[in-house]
């Protein structure tokens, strides 16, 4: 038992090589200049590394401590501040119109809809309730107590270890997505939150549990976290997409695995990379979460499958040989975009394929990784 626990607290050299290879592949295919990756379990850091350039113009490399705009990961911090006020009695989850619960869960209408405005409204509510600016509240109650020295509402000074991206950054309300952070800070944040040091455990459970609409339909969103099952593990995660930056943090609710990925490239879906790293660090309990091998899954979109099949049979993939099998694996929904993942078996390679599509099944993106 002791040996097993020790093994779980480390990664092997082979795992490091696999992680580095998949990161390099995604950066190359997605045009990511720089990326920082952190992996921890129950607060113990397993891996921390930077890849590529945090400042391409000056050829400055990224490292594990590089700071990036974290985008909508800020919603987790906002949710925690609100729940602290709920725990103290200053706010109630089920009062108001819309209610605090509806704002947190993104269900202010008759259905689930991801809206930054919901969390901007929560930031304004916090300021009225506590009599201080949102950024001051976040610093006093989260950043300073947890020693998150690289997390703030303001862009760090250029002399700091900060990632640079092309183009001017668009302003967004700090409560909805206006924070900066780095991998070590996000890992510590996830661990402190999981251990109940930020909000009471019963409220943390609500943060990381899918809400439900009338009729019991799951939203796959808690309070500031998307919820899903990755390879047999229940996870809570959130991406952060703002001008010039793409980030994601992930928490395994099963065994305390924590991931943080931050990059200085805009509009890059880092979920497939996060899931690949997750599967390397945690042996999958269920490699085919929803689909049955060699048979269509109940929730498979056959129209999308046909489109993916046609694309993989095109000239871009001829080097892999004939497509022998395409298996639907799982689905993630983010706002109005659905992401379906497949395992594609060719004569000479096996690839993961993630396709994003919107209303009417119009294909918006298709990414491929080993």
Is there a cis peptide before residue 254, judged by omega within 30 degrees of 0?
Answer: no
Q: Give the separation between CA 242 and CA 181, rounded to whole angstroms.
A: 13
At residue 293, the pLDDT reads 38
Torsion of CA 131, 133, 134, 139, to 10 degrees: -100
Q: Are 249 and 238 in contact (CB under 8 A)?
A: yes
Measured N-to-C along each axis, helices 74-88 and 116-130 cross at an angle, to the nearest 10 degrees, of 40
Which ranges of the chain have pLDDT less than 50?
1-7, 288-298
At residue 6, the pLDDT reads 36
Q: Which residue has the tokens 């931050």?
A: 262
List 260's β-bridge partners, or say none. Answer: 38, 249
Q: Give the separation between CA 147 and CA 149, rounded to whole angstroms.
A: 5
At residue 109, the pLDDT reads 86
End-to-end CA distance of the chain: 33
pLDDT tens-digit readout, 39-86: 999 999 999 999 999 999 999 999 999 999 999 999 999 999 999 999
pLDDT tens-digit readout, 149-199: 999 998 888 778 999 997 656 779 999 999 999 999 999 999 999 999 999
Q: Give the separation between CA 98 and CA 281, rounded to whole angstroms.
A: 41
Instruction: With CA atoms as reference, report the closest residue to 192 among 227, 151, 164, 222.
Output: 151
At residue 151, the pLDDT reads 97
Instruction: For the chain, list the domains and their CATH numbers.
Output: 68-281 (3.40.710.10), 302-369 (3.10.450)
At residue 60, the pLDDT reads 95
At residue 170, the pLDDT reads 75
At residue 214, the pLDDT reads 83
At residue 286, the pLDDT reads 64
> How many CA atoms lie less than 13 Å away from 103 in the CB half-sphere?
29
With a pLDDT cut of 90, the percent of the chain lying above it is: 65
CA 27-285-231 angle, to 5 degrees, is: 40
At residue 7, the pLDDT reads 38
Q: Give the separation between CA 195 and CA 90, rounded to whole angstroms.
A: 23
Q: Are 323 and 346 in contact (CB under 8 A)?
A: yes
């Amino acid at each position: 038992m002791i040996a097993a626990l020790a093994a779980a607290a480390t990664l092997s050299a082979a795992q490091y090589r696999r992680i580095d290879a998949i990161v390099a592949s995604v950066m190359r295919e997605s045009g990511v200049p720089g990326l920082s990756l952190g992996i921890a379990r129950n607060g113990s850091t397993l891996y921390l590394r930077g890849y590529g350039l945090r400042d391409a113009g000056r050829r400055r490399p990224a490292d594990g401590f590089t700071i990036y705009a974290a985008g909508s990961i800020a919603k987790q911090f906002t949710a925690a501040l609100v729940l602290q006020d709920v725990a103290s009695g200053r706010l109630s989850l089920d009062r108001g119109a819309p209610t605090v619960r509806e704002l947190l869960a993104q269900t202010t209408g008759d259905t689930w809809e991801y809206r930054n405005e919901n969390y901007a409204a929560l930031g304004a509510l916090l300021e009225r309730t506590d009599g201080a600016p949102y950024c001051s509240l976040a610093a006093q109650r989260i950043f300073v107590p947890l020693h998150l020295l690289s997390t703030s509402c303001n862009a760090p000074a250029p002399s700091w270890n900060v990632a640079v991206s092309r183009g001017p950054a668009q302003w967004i309300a700090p409560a909805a997505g206006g924070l900066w952070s780095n991998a070590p800070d996000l890992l510590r944040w996830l661990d402190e939150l999981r251990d109940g040091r930020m909000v009471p455990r019963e409220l943390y459970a609500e943060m990381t549990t899918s809400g439900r609409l009338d009729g019991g339909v799951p939203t796959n969103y808690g309070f500031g976290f998307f919820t899903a099952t990755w390879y047999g593990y229940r996870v809570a995660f959130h991406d952060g997409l703002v001008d010039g930056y793409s980030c994601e943090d992930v928490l395994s609710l099963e065994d305390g695995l924590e991931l943080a990925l931050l990059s200085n490239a805009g509009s890059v879906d880092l979920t497939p990379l996060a899931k690949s790293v997750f599967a390397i660090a945690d042996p999958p309990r269920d490699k085919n979460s929803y689909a049955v091998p060699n048979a269509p899954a109940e929730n498979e979109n056959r129209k999308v499958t046909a489109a993916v099949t046609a694309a993989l049979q095109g000239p871009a993939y001829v080097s892999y040989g004939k497509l022998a099998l395409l298996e639907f694996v799982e689905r993630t929904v983010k706002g109005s975009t659905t992401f379906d993942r497949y395992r594609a078996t060719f004569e000479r390679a096996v690839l993961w394929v993630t396709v994003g599509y919107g209303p009417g099944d119009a294909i918006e993106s298709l990414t491929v990784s080993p």
